[in-house]
Copies of this chain bind each other. A is one copy, B any other.
């Protein structure tokens, strides 16, 4: 049985959850709370599994895998159906480029540890931190919208009409942008694909709110 070390709101973990559900692979979710007790990702046991102190980690028997895109490529190679990458090198490059435009250009600048460094070491206030996050999402989605809007390869999903690695990355990033209340009207193709994917069961099962460690949004009473 595959084990996924995950945090409901981590968009890197969310990508891998989407890929697992798209491939119909069952897995045990092991929550790693990124905030509680200074962050469970810093525990000795977890650092042993993942020296980068990040989620996700996928355990497949004795094998431990880190980095969300490397994990999804591994799942693609070991469980090829349904494919998350198209067949030709050109098309694969296109899908990987879209995925990396999110995983390298948008997400790393906005993740928890970076925002925390801005707050604690550089004393950047909350408003400027929100501005920072929105800026990088706006710049990154601007590029992705332009890549998607003009391309004949864009379908109901980022590449054609079946979800790929690119959609595994895009949907969590839009989820994050909505959480941060980013204005997204300038990105109609991105939003159309987001809304399409949200209707698909694998994406619904992978969503933050559907996880065993999900917490209610701030302000919502649960009693």
Give the interface of A toward B (CB within 8 A).
51-54, 63, 65-67, 69-71, 73-74, 77-78, 89-90, 92-93, 96-97, 99-101, 103-105, 107-109, 113-114, 117-118, 121-122, 124, 128, 131-132, 135, 139-140, 142-144, 146-147
Please give the count of copies of this chain that the complex contains. Answer: 2
Closest 10 CB pairs of A and B: A70-B96, A52-B143, A51-B146, A74-B93, A67-B100, A108-B108, A77-B89, A67-B97, A70-B97, A51-B143
- Nearest CB on B from A94, distance (A): 8
Candidates B52, B69, B97, B107; contact of A66 at CB < 8 Å = B97
- Nearest CB on B from A138, distance (A): 12
Name which residue of chain B comes closest to A78, CB basis.
Answer: B89
Q: Known contacts A67-B104, A105-B108, A132-B117; decide if A51 and B147 are in contact (CB<8 Å).
A: yes
